[in-house]
Amino acid sequence: MNRIMRPSAWERETLMGLPLLSRLELDTLSAMLEIATVRTIGPRQVLFREGDLADTLYCVLSGYVRSFHLSPLGREVDLLVHEPGDLIGASACLHGHAYCASAQATDSVKIVQFSLQRVRELAARKPDLALALAAGLSGQFAGSLSTLADDRLHTAPQRVAHYLKKQCPQGSRNVSFRLPYQKNLLAGKLGLAPEALSRAFSHLKRYGVSVRGRLVQVNDPEALQSV
């Protein structure tokens, strides 16, 4: 079911908009495009597993990929949801030789992949690439710290309120939008059991939030501050 291919003209356009590639010098960029492979992977397909030898760097073009840990007892914990533009496997990129989490497509996902070996070689000669990698890592690191703080500090309704507020444009009112993925996954991302997410949504009714399926309407995003 996988389609593997050289980037088409249209895809080159998309690729060049990626945070990883958009700031590169021309020759670095073309070297990266040279080793880029675009793939489409189907729902639930696994990109790699925790502990696998890390030989590939991925970057999401469209769709969502979840990273998770497997406990010794077989329980799964969601750690991150990678959105379009995000790197996957970057933490293994320069550090270990094994991926430290498993990655799975949530839906149909389009990604670019690069040989980690080649990326390392190129980055060792091209500071702009090394810095772009560092910038990507930096952003993900900051993100994971803020998730950790959120987990340790806020209750379930607060975390959900916080998430919803981030989705609303600054200072807007009566916003409505579609959740980008299943509630199941959203619950995992927020460190909650699905039941807890459900209860949190119903708790948030009183703050002007209504949910029908994946459609969410937020009456007054500012009011979510006080949850």
Partner DNA sequence: GTGATTATTTGACCGAAATCAACGAAGGCC
Partner DNA sequence: GGCCTTCGTTGATTTCGGTCAAATAATCAC
Q: Could you list the residues that contact its own copies (CB under 8 A)?
A: 67, 69, 71, 75, 77, 79-80, 90-96, 100-101, 123-128, 130-131, 133-135, 137-142, 144-149, 151-153, 191
Q: Which does 57 bind (CB under 5 to 8 A by kind): its own copies, DNA, none?
A: none
State in angstroms the smallest separation of the CB of 10 from its own copies.
30
- Options 15-23, 27-35, 54-62, 153-161: segment touching DNA (CB under 7 A): 153-161
Nearer to DNA, 6 or 214 (CB): 214
Q: For residue 152, what are the contacts with CB-CB under 8 A and spacing of at least 6?
A: none
Least CB distance to its own copies at residue 224 (A): 13
182 makes contact with DNA (CB under 7 A): yes
- Sign of the torsion formed by the C-alpha atoms of 186, 19, 54 and 113: positive
Residue 141 partner contact from its own copies, DNA, none using kind-dependent CB cut-offs of 5 to 8 Å:
its own copies
Q: Compute the least distance from the CB of residue 154 to its own copies, in Å.
A: 8
Q: Which residue lies nearer to DNA by CB, 25 or 195? A: 195
Identified binder of DNA from the candidate list 30, 155, 176, 225, rule CB under 7 A: 155
Residue 157 binding DNA, by CB under 7 A: yes
CB 209 within 8 A of CB 218: yes
User: Are 106 and 46 within 8 A, CB to CB?
Assistant: no
Q: What is the closest distance, in whole angstroms, from the C-beta atom of residue 13 to its own copies in the complex?
A: 26
Residue (117 or 184) nearer to DNA, CB: 184
Residue with the two structure tokens 């895809």: 11
Q: Is 202 in the site for DNA (CB under 7 A)?
A: yes
The string of DSSP letters for 47-105 reads EE-TTSB--EEEEEEES-EEEEEE-TTS-EEEEEEEPTT-EESHHHHTT-SB-SSEEEE
For the CB of residue 212, give the shortest distance to DNA in the complex, in Å. 6
Give the C-alpha distances (Å, rounded to integers) separating 33 from 17, 27, 96, 124, 218.
Answer: 12, 10, 25, 17, 41
* Contact status: 64 vs DNA (CB under 7 A): no
Q: Which token pair is 103?
A: 């990655």
- Identify the burial level of 26 via C-beta atoms within 10 angstroms of its C-beta, where 0-12 means exposed, 13-18 middle and 19 or more buried: exposed
The least distance separating its own copies from the CB of residue 80, rounded to whole angstroms, comes to 7
Token pair for residue 3? 């389609």
Q: Which helix (H) or strand (E) holds 168?
A: none
Residues in touch with DNA (CB under 7 A)? 75, 154-157, 182-184, 191-199, 201-202, 211-214
